[in-house]
Amino acid sequence: MQREYYRWWSKDLGRDMELLCFGHAGTKVLVFPTSNGRFFEYENSGMVGTVADRIDNGQLQLFCVDSVDGESWYNKHAHPYWRVQRHMQYERYIVNDVLALMGEKNQTPRLIATGCSFGAYHAANFGFRHPDKVTGIVTMGGAFDMKDFVDGWYGDDLYFNNPPDYLANCTDPWKYNHIRTVLATGEWDFCWEKNERFAAVLRNKGIRHELYVWRDHSFHDWPFWQPMARMYLE
C-alpha cells in the first residue's frame, strides 16, 4: 500500500500540521479523527486495514488529517467565542491546504468526508458547509450538536457551525441532495439518539440521507466502526 507522510506550516493555524495519505487513486476520502485525535489514529485503530484492498486497487485514497480540538471545542480555558474561532481557522486550513493537496494528487471530483465519534461532527459540518466540495458524508457513532461545548454561549459563528441549527433553517435544501449522506451508529452506542435527532432534521428539510442503526450489539468503539467503514466507504 502506498503510504505518504506530510508535514507543513499552516498559515491559517500558525503551526505545523501533519497528515497521512494512503493509496494512489480513486475516490478521495477526507478522514477526521475522534476527539483530540491525531492523524495516525485511523491507521492505528485498524480502519485503514479494513479497506486496504480498496486502497490497493485504486478505489479509495485516504487523507487522514490531524485535529486541533484541544485548542478549539475542548479548550475550556478559552471563551466559547474563541473556541469557535479556532475551529474556523482549522476549517480554513482544511480548505486551503488539505483540499489543495488532495486536488494536486488526485483529480477525481469524488470526495467523501468521514469520521467517527467527534470526527463525525467534523465530517458532517464540513460537508454541509461546503456542498460544492464533497460528494459524500459518512459518519459513524457521531454527535452533531455543539451547544454542549460552549457553556451556554451562543452566537452567529456557533450557529453556522452547528449543523442541527443551520440545516433546520435552510431555505435551499436541494443543494445537498447530490451528497450521499450516511449516518451509521449502533444499538448500544450512546450517540444513537443523537443520530436519530440529526436524521429528523434532515428528513424534515427533505435532505437525502441514510440512517443505519446496527442491531448487532454495536457499541461506541473502533471494532464496531471497522465493519461500518467496510460497508459505507466505497
CATH number at residue 14: 3.40.50.1820
Q: Cell 457553556 sits at which residue?
A: 151
Amino acid at 142: G
The model's pTM: 0.97
What pLDDT score was predicted for residue 34? 98
The residue-averaged pLDDT of 111-118 equals 98
75 pLDDT more than 90: yes
Structure confidence at residue 58 (pLDDT):
98
- Please tell me the total count of domains within the chain: 1
What's the Cα-to-Cα distance from 83 to each of 70, 126, 154, 158, rounded to whole Å? 9, 17, 12, 10
Residue 191: per-residue pLDDT: 96
Percent of all residues in the chain with a pLDDT value above 90, rounded to a whole number: 99
Query: Structural domain of residue 96, as residue ranges?
Result: 3-232
pLDDT of 52 over the 90 cut: yes
**Which pLDDT score, from 0 to 100, does residue 216 have?**
86
* Closest among 14, 12, 69 to 39, alpha carbons compared: 69
- Contacts of residue 27, Cβ cutoff 8 Å, sequence gap at least 6: 59, 60, 61, 108, 110, 111, 112, 135, 136, 234
* DSSP H helix total and E strand total for the chain: 10, 8
Model confidence band, residue 71 (pLDDT cutoffs 50, 70, 90): very high
Task: Give the model's pLDDT for residue 134.
Answer: 98
Nearest partner of 87 among 74, 72, 108, 76, judged by Cα: 72
Which residue is listed with cell 486502497?
55
**Predicted local confidence at residue 63, as pLDDT:** 98
Q: What is the pLDDT of residue 13?
A: 98
The CA-CA-CA angle for residues 214, 140, 153, to 5°, reads: 125
Q: What are the pLDDT digits (tens) for 187-228?
A: 999 999 999 999 999 999 999 999 999 998 899 999 999 999
